[in-house]
Structure formats: structure tokens, C-alpha cells
């Protein structure tokens, strides 16, 4: 239900609002960077906001940047004994208050997966937790589903507000804004927001009700079915066309795998954490040279297994997928994860 | 469609002796074709052939070495087969090539622009037009407006090498580009502007390596120099420096080998115009060595050989 | 000599063991004055120079890169420099396309006896790099690094 306490935000007021918010916080918004590519970028006046469709990349980098320095180090030679060195370590966490504007419900559900693993799980990651705490999320609810969308099959909805601080619904001339949390309530105090008229509240409700229903995937007991298929040729068949690139994992709002490397430059260097992809051969390559997942079928099985079996087993049934469909859209061979799940449901 | 009937007939005849035949099938909606692995006679009817069959299926061949496989290929794709044969990376006796004379395939970005995120209900073609029915109505466009750039200057519509030809052969229907417009665009910029161009474009690279993995000539696959920690060509960082370094590495490893199929750019989820980097090298290779990759199985790639006197190389005058 | 007056730049030289490294040595032994910007990396043969060595040097911040080997027909390994010539020529024509100034990369041939020629090559090349000044690498100063992913 649309809140009757809602506000209205006119489309034309958004750019100045973002610029104003940008004075006190880092503001990320979906911006057109090339003909068909929209990315969450730091807002700069004059940039072209792209609010009509899902962005090409999810905003997961806001809590989990693709490259992040864990520490820097520098060796110093002992002047009296040049064979000896001392090492100095440095680590600084630079967290700024951040406003994420225009995320979709599936993007926000993706961030919930990061919460399960990094902020509310068995271990807390300082950096991710601090970034999440400093984050205000303004979600743009969808007015339609794309042909690749399947959020409703994995516990989400195009109009879900869970995890958001402020939710926007597109209406004539702008957006109906509903504060979900105290952070959201603070935001709507800005003069860019005006109290919504009754007719706008009704229109928002109509927009939400009019969204065409997505096909529902048969995910009942999929956790066990995937395990049953573990040692079968099923994975060779479904991954036959996969080219083993990392596009699906990097565009995924819920994929959180990373690698840690030391990047030296002479006597100094840094230890960084970067996104990794289970679709790469190197992901499981061991120092001995042995690789427990040598084929793309092994790796594809891991991707599906992790999202739809191991993750729900570890995190109270929650899927490691928010149904955004970017992996389908971005795949060079249009490999359809939904079709794979349907097949797994049938054969498992 | 007679071409498709020809294809199916050829496969029906050959399938028994083959582990599989790589072709195209229908994807998740009417405007997406997908690579399709045909393993039994029941699969044959799921094959399709139309201007949506954009993928260069040759990329799958090197990994299938040791198995006897059939492959469907367009004129441009056949150049990749020729190049792989030249380099002895695939065996001629292990592949059955079903060639398809091709009038062009679409650029999926142009199709996306047409449908603008709407759900596609149907897609059909005539010789000159494409008609897409979406939830918001019918869209008709001239095929020329949605064809991939490479098809608009195509010089090899009919496969160079094949065992079966589906449909009738024809020669190039369009004039070759006198100058490569995309390369020329960059060459028209001064050096700082070129640097800025690549910084801007490659900034959105996500290092997913789709450009590499979709490339039919990138045969190192799981053992790419880019992934090596020793030698440490570049770091794991997502800086522009690493991204530029990777593109240069890819382009240089393709020097004299790239068959201009455009899979790198087509595969890029961030739509980065990277094919022009390979094209620039192709242009220089052609100018220096009068060589075009993948057109003659008996050729030697120009960087695998030399002349004692190189009349086209003008060295510095020190 | 510009390299001696102005701020020193980072010029990397890949020199083959048999000719050019010897040539540089001859120049030194003969006490020919040379700019000090060049850092020499000795390689077995100019044919050993993967074009990516040059690219990597630029990526690590080199202002100029010079490759020098035996004269064609004089290669210690008979034909290494013939292959090198083709590769390096392609590289030379390609680097400017990516935004690296054509004056920053050169390849040439210097024999072990050509101390005077080495002096001439290294002086000229260094002057050429100095004329272009220090180089901005890709993404330096935050250019292009949106860093928001």
C-alpha cells in the first residue's frame, strides 16, 4: 500500500537536489555513460540521469568496491646491515556518508546479501559494515518488468521497499516519495519534496498494481535438487555455451567473491581486495597447481549451486540472487539462468 | 526458409559421425539467438538461421580439439577457422564445416535501441526489413539500419572454407570501406585527446574478460598471460592503467591473426568500442605486409616470418 | 646536452647483449659524454623483446623506451632481429593510437664497435623525450577513474 504520508518530488528538482545533497555526502546516481550503458557514478551537475531503466551495473560497489586497499606497506633497509629490513604497515578506512539514489528493489536486495555475509553474519567486515552504516538508500520502484526480470521468484518484488530508506514511485511529472526509515524522513524534509496530493497517491498505487506479473520459477526444494544433480552431466550440458568470462558475476548485485593480492612496487606496495569471479579458472587454482574446478561445467555448477543451494542453506533460505536479470542481459551468449533453474527443477 | 532446410539436411547426413554440431538456437526472447549444441537428431529442429545469429561459433572449436565436430559458420566466421588451421590449433579432418552465405547479422545494441527495454513478443525478417512486435506495438526498420557495422562493409559473405554450403554462394554485395571510419576517428585526434578517449571509454571496463573469452583466436583460454602472477604483467586493481594494458596485450597477441569478427566488442557488457584497437593493428599489418588474416589456409602470419630486406619498413635515421 | 641540464626523465633501454650493450660499453670506455636518463636492461637478443616489455615500461611510468639490437644480418642468433623488426614496427605504429606520443618509442641497431653511434642515438633519443617532457600515464591524477563500482 502506498503511504498517505507521502511526498512528491518533481523530475526537474532531482538534479539540483542531488547537487545540494552532494555538498555534505557522496551521492551516487545512475548516469548515462554511453549509448546503452548506465552506471552508478558520483553525481556531478550536468550529468545525464538515467532513471527510466535498471542501470547496467548494480550499485554493490558502494559497500564493496571492485578494488579496495586493505593495507599499505613499506620496507626500510637497516643502514648498518643492508641485509636487514624493517616493514611499516599502514591502514586507513576512509568512509564518507553516502546517498545511493535510484537503486532498484533488486539492487537493494543484492545489498541484503552483503549484509548476510559481511555485516550480520558470523564475521563482521569492518569496511563493508562501516560503508553500509554510512549509507542512505533512495530506491526507485519499478513501473514495469523487463523480459529478463525474475525478482518475484527469489523473494523480491519490483516494488519492494525492504532495505530502503526512501522509496520513489514514478507518477506523472515526477515521483511519489515515501520515507521508510528515519534517514528517509530526514531526506524528505528538503524543500524539493512537497506533500503529495491524494490523486498522486492513487496514481502511484495504480502504477504499482499495473505491473505485469513475471513468470514464477519452480524453486521449491531447489537446494536439494541441485545437490542431487551434483555429480551428473547436467552441468556439462547447461554450461556448454558458456565462454567462462566473468561478466555474469561482475554485473551481479549479489555476487560477493573476492581475492586478496599484494601488489608490490619496489620496496613498497599495498594489499588489495578485488572482486573475483568463480567463472575463472584461477579462482580455485591452488598453489600446488591442482585445480578442483578445472572445467567450466564445474565452475558453472558452483555459480548456480552457491546462489540457489549453498547460500540458502547457510543463510536461512535466502537466495544469493535478487532476480535482476543482468547476468542474462550481459552474457555474451545470452545464457539464461532461469532456464537452467527450470531444467534443474525438472531433473533434480 | 531454404537455407535452413539445407543446413538441416547437411546435419542430418553428417550427425552420425560427429560428437556434436554447433549452431544457433532460439534464446530467451524472440530477438536473442544463442549458440546451440546439437547432439541428436531430435535437436536438429531446434536450429535456427536468421540475422540474429550474431555469435562466431568458431570460438568453441579449439577446446573441442580431439573430437570430431560439425560447425555452422558465416563468411566472416570462416576466416577464424582458416586462421586457426594456419596456426595448427584445430585439425581440418576433425571438423565438418557447414558454411552459410550471409547477408549480414544485426548489432544487438541497435536492436536494444529499437525495443527500448520493452518485452518482445515476436520478431520477423524479410530480405530488407526487420519487424519487431513489443508490448507497445509493432516496429519496422530497414535491415541496413540494424546490421552490425562489419556487415555493412563485408567482403567475405560466403565462407572461404566449407564442406557443405547451405544456399547459393555470392560475392561481396557492398563496397569495402576505403578507410576504416572508426580507426580514422581516433587517428583524427591529437595524442592527449586519444589518451583521454581511452581513459574515458576503458574506465567502465569491469575486467570480466568477455572480450578475451569470446575471441576465437584467444586460444590460451585458462592460461592467459593476463592472469599470470609471475610474470606480473599487471595488478588486480581496476585502474584505467590495467585496463589499457590488457587491451594492448590482447591486440598485440592478435597482431596479424585477428580476423575482424568483432566478437570482442559484441561480447563487451559495457559496450566499449574495443574492436577499433584490433582494427588499427590490422590496418598497419595490411599496409606493412599486404596481409589479411584468415583468408588463405596456406599463408603464414606475418609476425611468424620475416624478409631480410623489408621494403615497407622505414627505420629511424640514426 | 638536455639530459644533463633539465630534470632527469625515465628512459628505459632494452639492449641486446651481443651488439648494443657492447656498443654502449664501448661508448663508456671511450668516455663519450652521454645523458644519464637512460636505464639499460640487457636482453639476450632484440628478438627477446616482447612488445609488451615496452608497453609495461610505459605503464609503469617510463617517459621513453628505446630498443636496440644488432644490425640486420648481424644478429648473433642469425635472425632474432628480423623478427624483432617486424614486431617493433607494428608496435611503433600502434602505440600512438592508444595515446602514447610517437616520439617516446624508438628501435634501432647499434653494433658493439659503434661507440660513437651509440652516443649519437642515446643523445638524440633522450633529447627527443625531453622535448616531450614527462609523461602522464593512463588514469594518473584520477583521470578516468570514476572508482564508484
Q: Which one of A332, A336, A341 makes the best mutation probe of the B interface by having the most chain B beta carbons within 10 Å?
A: A332
* Digit-coded pLDDT (tens) for A232-273: 999 999 999 999 999 999 999 999 999 999 999 889 999 999
Residues B10 and B103 in one domain: yes
Query: How far A4 CA lies from chain B's nearest CA (Å)?
Result: 31
Write a three-state SS string for chain A.
CCCCCCEEEEHHHHHHHHHHHCCCCEEEEEEEEECCEEEEEECCCCCCECCCCCCCCCHHHHCCCCEEEEEEEEEEECCCCCCCEEEEEECCCCCCCEEEEEECHHHHHHHHHHHHHHHCCCCCCHHHHHHHHCEEEEEECCCCCCCCCCHHHHCCCCCCCCCCCEEEEEECCEEEEEECCHHHHHHCCCCCEEECCHHHHHHHHHHHHCCCCCCCCCCCCHHHHHHHCCCCCHHHHHCCCCCCCCHHHHCCCCCCCEEEEEEEECCEEEEEEEECCCCCHHHCCCCCCCCCCCCHHHHHHHHHHHHHHHHHHHCCCCCCCCCCCHHHHHCCCCCCHHHHHHHHHHHC
> What pLDDT score was predicted for residue C112?
97
Buried (b) or exposed (e) across C15-40, using 16+ Cβ within 10 A?
A: bbbbbbbbbbebbeeeebebbebbeb
Question: Is the interface score ipTM higher than 0.90?
Answer: yes
Three cell numbers, residue A21: 545533497
Q: Does B290 touch chain C (CB under 8 A)?
A: no
Mean pLDDT of C7-35: 96
Domain that includes residue B81, residue range:
1-107+154-175
Distance from CA of A343 to the nearest CA of B (A): 14
The answer as to whether B242 is a domain residue is yes
- Digit-by-digit pLDDT tens for chain B (318 residues) are 589 999 999 999 999 999 999 999 999 999 999 999 999 999 999 999 999 999 999 999 999 999 999 999 999 999 999 999 999 999 999 999 999 999 999 999 999 988 888 889 999 999 999 999 998 899 999 999 999 999 999 999 999 999 999 999 999 999 998 888 999 999 999 999 999 999 999 999 999 999 999 999 999 999 999 999 889 999 999 999 999 999 999 999 999 999 999 999 999 999 999 999 999 999 999 999 999 999 999 999 999 999 999 999 998 778
- Answer yes or no: do B299 and B266 share one domain: yes
Q: Do the chains contact at C149 and A40, CB–CB below 8 Å? A: yes
The reply to whether B63 and B29 lie within a common domain is: yes
A contact test, residue of B52, B205, B206 with most A CBs within 10 A: B206
Lowest mean pLDDT among A8-17, A195-204, B10-19, B176-185: B176-185
Distance from CA of A61 to the nearest CA of C (A): 4
Query: Rounded mean pLDDT of A171-175?
Result: 97
**Domain tally for chain B?**
2
- pLDDT recorded at residue C6: 64
Chain position carrying cell 581516433: B186
Question: Of chain C residues 13-32, which have a CB less than 8 A from chain B?
Answer: none
Cβ of residue B89 closer than 8 Å to a chain C Cβ? no
Q: What CATH number was assigned to the domain covering residues C9-137?
A: 3.40.50
Cβ contact (<8 Å) for B249 and C52? yes
- B310 within domain boundaries: yes
Burial letters A276-301, b for 16+ CB under 10 A, else e: bbbbbbebebeeeeebebebbbbbbb
Contact B79, B119 (CB under 8 A): no
User: A10: which 3 cell numbers?
Assistant: 518533481
Q: Which of B143, B175, B207 is the last residue of a domain?
A: B175
Mean pLDDT along residues A206-220 = 94
3 state SS of B272 = coil
Q: Looking at the domain assignment, is residue B112 inside a domain?
A: no
Tens of pLDDT, residues C86-135: 999 999 999 999 999 999 999 999 999 999 999 999 999 999 999 999 99
CA distance B213 to B237: 20
Residue C3 pLDDT level (bands cut at 50, 70, 90):
very low
pLDDT tens-digit readout, A130-139? 999 999 999 9
**Sign (positive or negative) of CA dihedral C121, C124, C128, C133:** positive
Interface subset of A 73-132, CB within 8 angstroms of B = none
Residues of C in contact with A42 (CB under 8 A): 146, 148
Q: Where are the domains of chain C?
A: 9-137
Closest CA to C92 of C133, C64, C61, C130: C64
Task: With beta carbons less than 8 A apart as the criterion, state whether B152 and B144 touch.
Answer: yes
The proportion of chain A whose per-residue pLDDT surpasses 70, expressed as a percent, equals 100
Contacts of residue A277 in chain B, CB cutoff 8 Å? Answer: 208
Record: contact A241-B29, CB cut-off 8 A: no
Clarify whether residues B160 and B232 are in a common domain.
Answer: no
The residues of A whose Cβ lies within 8 A of any Cβ of C are 28, 39-42, 57, 60-62, 65-66
Measured between CB atoms, does C146 come within 8 Å of chain A?
Answer: yes
Using one digit for the tens of pLDDT, what is the confidence trace for C46-73? 999 999 999 999 999 999 999 999 999 9
Q: Say whether pLDDT at C1 is over 60.
A: no
Residue of A nearest to B218 (CA): A243
Q: Using a CB-CB distance cutoff of 8 angstroms, which residues of chain B are in contact with residue A253?
A: none
Determine the distance in angstroms separating the CA of B181 from the nearest CA of chain C, rounded to an integer. 14
What SS3 string covers A49-92?
ECCCCCCCCCHHHHCCCCEEEEEEEEEEECCCCCCCEEEEEECC
Give pLDDT, residue B237: 93
Record the cell numbers describing residue B268, joined without a space.
563487451
Interchain pair A40, C148: CB under 8 A:
yes
Mutate to test the interface with A, among C10, C62, C139, C148 (most CBs of A within 10 A): C148
Considering the domain architecture, whether residues B183 and B163 belong to the same structural domain is answered as no
Closest residue in C to A274 (Cα) is C149
Task: Please tell me which of the candidates C83, C97, C101 has its beta carbon nearest to residue B186.
Answer: C97
B236 touches chain A (CB under 8 A): yes
Instruction: Please judge whether C107 and B285 are an interchain contact, meaning their C-beta atoms are less than 8 angstroms apart.
Output: no
B309 belongs to a structural domain:
yes
Confidence of residue C144 (pLDDT cuts 50, 70, 90): low
What integer pLDDT is reported at residue C147 of this predicted model? 44
Other C-beta atoms lying within 10 Å of the C-beta of residue A78: 10
pTM reported for the whole predicted model: 0.95
User: Any bridge partners for residue B131, and if so which?
Assistant: B124, B140
Which of B192, B220, B241 is the best residue to mutate to test the C interface, defined by the most C CB atoms within 10 Å of its own CB? B241
In a domain, B61, yes or no: yes
Name chain A contacts of C139, Cβ cutoff 8 Å: none
Which DSSP category does B16 fall into?
G
Q: Is C99 on the interface with B (CB under 8 A)?
A: yes
Is the pLDDT at C5 greater than 60, yes or no? no
Q: Per the domain annotation, does B217 fall within a domain?
A: yes
Average pLDDT of chain A, as a whole number: 96
Q: What is the per-residue pLDDT across A287-327, written as a single tens digit (0 to 9) for each?
A: 999 999 999 999 999 999 999 999 999 999 999 999 999 99
Residue B211 within any structural domain of the chain = yes
| Residue B113 forms contact with C (CB below 8 Å) | no
pLDDT tens string A125-169 = 999 999 999 999 999 999 999 999 999 999 999 999 999 999 999
Do residues A43 and A19 lie in contact, with contact meaning Cβ atoms separated by under 8 Å? yes
Q: Is residue B135 part of a domain?
A: no
Amino acid at each position: 500500500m502506498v503511504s498517505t504520508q507521502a511526498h512528491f518530488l518533481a523530475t526537474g528538482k532531482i538534479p539540483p537536489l542531488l547537487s545540494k545533497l552532494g555538498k555534505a555526502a557522496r551521492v551516487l546516481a545512475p548516469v548515462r555513460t554511453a549509448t546503452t550503458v548506465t552506471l552508478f557514478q558520483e553525481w556531478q551537475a550536468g550529468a545525464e540521469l538515467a532513471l527510466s531503466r535498471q542501470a547496467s551495473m548494480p550499485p554493490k560497489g558502494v559497500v564493496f568496491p571492485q578494488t579496495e586497499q586493505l593495507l599499505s606497506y613499506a620496507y626500510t633497509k637497516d643502514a648498518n646491515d643492508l641485509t636487514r629490513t624493517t616493514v611499516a604497515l599502514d591502514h586507513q578506512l576512509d568512509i564518507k556518508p553516502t546517498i545511493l539514489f535510484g537503486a532498484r528493489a533488486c539492487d537493494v536486495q543484492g545489498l541484503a546479501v552483503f549484509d548476510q555475509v559481511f555485516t550480520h553474519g558470523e564475521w563482521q567486515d569492518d569496511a563493508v559494515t562501516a560503508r553500509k552504516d554510512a549509507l542512505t538508500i533512495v530506491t526507485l520502484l519499478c513501473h514495469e518488468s523487463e523480459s529478463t526480470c525474475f525478482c518475484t521468484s527469489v523473494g523480491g518484488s519490483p516494488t519492494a521497499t525492504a532495505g530502503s530508506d526512501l522509496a520513489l514511485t514514478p507518477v506523472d511529472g515526477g515521483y511519489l516519495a515515501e520515507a521508510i526509515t528515519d534517514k528517509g524522513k530526514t531526506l524528505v524534509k528538503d524543500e524539493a519534496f512537497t506533500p503529495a496530493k491524494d490523486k498522486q497517491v492513487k496514481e502511484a498505487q495504480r502504477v504499482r498494481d499495473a505491473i505485469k506479473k513475471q513468470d514464477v520459477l519452480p524453486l521449491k526444494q531447489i537446494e536439494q535438487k541441485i545437490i542431487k544433480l551434483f555429480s551428473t552431466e547436467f552441468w556439462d550440458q547447461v554450461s556448454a555455451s558458456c565462454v567462462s568470462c566473468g561478466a555474469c558475476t561482475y554485473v551481479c548485485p549479489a555476487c560477493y567473491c573476492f581475492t586478496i593480492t599484494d601488489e608490490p612496487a619496489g620496496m613498497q606496495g599495498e594489499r588489495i581486495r578485488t572482486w573475483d569471479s568463480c567463472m575463472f579458472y584461477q579462482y580455485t587454482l591452488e598453489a600446488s597447481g591442482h585445480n578442483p574446478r578445472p572445467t567450466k561445467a564445474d565452475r558453472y555448477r558452483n555459480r548456480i549451486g552457491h546462489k540457489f543451494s549453498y547460500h540458502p542453506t547457510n543463510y536461512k533460505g535466502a537466495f544469493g540472487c535478487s532476480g535482476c536479470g543482468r547476468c542474462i542481459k550481459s552474457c555474451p551468449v545470452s545464457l539464461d539462468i532461469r532456464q537452467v533453474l527450470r531444467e534443474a527443477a525438472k531433473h533434480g | 526458409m531454404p537455407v535452413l532446410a539445407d543446413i538441416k539436411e547437411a546435419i542430418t547426413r553428417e550427425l552420425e559421425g560427429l560428437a556434436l554440431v554447433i549452431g544457433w538456437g532460439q534464446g530467451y526472447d524472440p530477438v536473442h539467438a544463442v549458440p546451440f549444441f546439437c547432439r541428436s537428431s531430435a535437436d536438429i529442429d531446434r536450429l535456427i538461421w536468421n540475422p540474429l545469429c550474431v555469435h562466431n561459433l568458431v570460438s568453441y572449436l579449439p577446446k573441442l580439439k580431439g573430437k570430431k565436430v560439425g560447425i555452422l559458420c558465416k563468411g566472416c566466421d570462416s576466416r577464424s577457422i582458416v586462421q586457426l588451421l594456419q596456426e595448427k590449433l584445430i585439425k581440418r579432418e576433425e571438423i565438418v564445416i557447414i558454411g552459410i552465405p550471409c547477408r549480414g547479422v544485426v548489432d544487438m545494441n541497435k536492436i536494444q535501441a529499437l525495443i527500448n527495454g520493452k518485452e518482445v513478443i515476436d520478431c520477423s525478417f524479410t530480405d530488407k526489413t526487420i519487424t519487431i512486435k513489443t508490448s507497445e506495438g509493432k516496429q519496422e526498420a530497414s535491415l541496413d539500419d540494424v546490421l552490425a557495422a562489419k556487415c555493412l562493409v563485408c567482403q567475405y559473405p560466403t565462407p572461404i572454407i566449407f564442406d557443405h554450403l547451405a544456399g547459393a554462394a555470392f560475392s561481396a554485395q557492398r563496397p569495402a570501406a576505403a578507410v576504416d571510419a572508426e580507426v580514422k576517428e581516433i587517428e583524427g585526434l591529437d595524442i592527449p585527446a586519444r589518451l583521454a578517449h581511452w581513459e574515458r571509454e576503458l574506465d567502465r571496463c569491469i575486467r570480466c574478460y568477455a572480450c578475451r573469452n569470446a575471441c576465437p583466436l584467444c586460444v590460451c583460454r585458462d592460461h592467459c598471460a593476463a592472469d599470470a602472477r609471475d610474470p606480473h604483467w599487471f595488478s588486480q586493481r581496476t585502474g584505467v592503467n590495467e585496463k589499457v594494458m590488457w587491451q594492448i596485450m590482447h591486440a598485440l597477441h592478435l597482431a596479424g591473426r585477428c580476423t575482424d569478427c568483432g566478437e570482442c566488442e559484441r561480447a563487451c557488457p559495457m559496450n566499449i568500442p574495443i574492436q577499433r584497437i584490433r582494427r588499427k593493428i590490422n590496418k598497419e599489418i595490411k599496409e606493412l605486409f599486404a596481409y589479411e588474416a584468415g583468408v588463405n589456409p596456406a599463408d603464414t602470419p606475418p609476425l611468424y616470418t620475416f624478409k631480410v630486406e623489408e621494403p615497407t619498413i622505414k627505420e629511424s635515421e640514426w | 646536452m638536455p639530459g644533463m641540464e633539465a630534470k632527469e626523465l625515465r628512459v628505459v633501454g632494452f639492449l641486446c647483449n651481443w651488439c648494443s650493450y657492447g656498443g654502449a660499453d664501448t661508448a663508456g670506455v671511450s668516455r663519450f659524454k652521454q645523458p644519464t636518463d637512460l636505464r639499460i636492461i640487457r636482453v639476450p637478443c632484440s628478438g627477446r623483446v616482447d612488445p609488451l616489455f615496452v608497453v609495461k615500461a610505459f605503464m609503469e611510468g617510463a617517459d621513453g623506451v628505446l630498443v636496440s639490437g644488432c644490425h640486420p644480418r648481424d644478429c648473433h642468433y642469425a635472425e632474432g632481429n628480423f623478427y624483432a623488426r617486424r614486431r617493433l614496427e607494428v608496435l611503433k605504429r600502434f602505440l600512438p593510437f592508444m595515446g602514447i606520443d610517437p616520439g617516446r618509442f624508438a628501435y634501432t641497431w647499434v653494433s658493439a664497435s659503434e661507440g660513437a653511434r651509440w652516443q649519437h642515438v642515446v643523445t638524440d633519443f633522450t633529447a627527443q623525450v625531453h622535448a616531450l617532457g614527462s609523461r602522464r600515464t593512463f588514469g594518473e591524477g584520477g583521470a578516468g577513474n570514476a572508482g564508484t563500482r
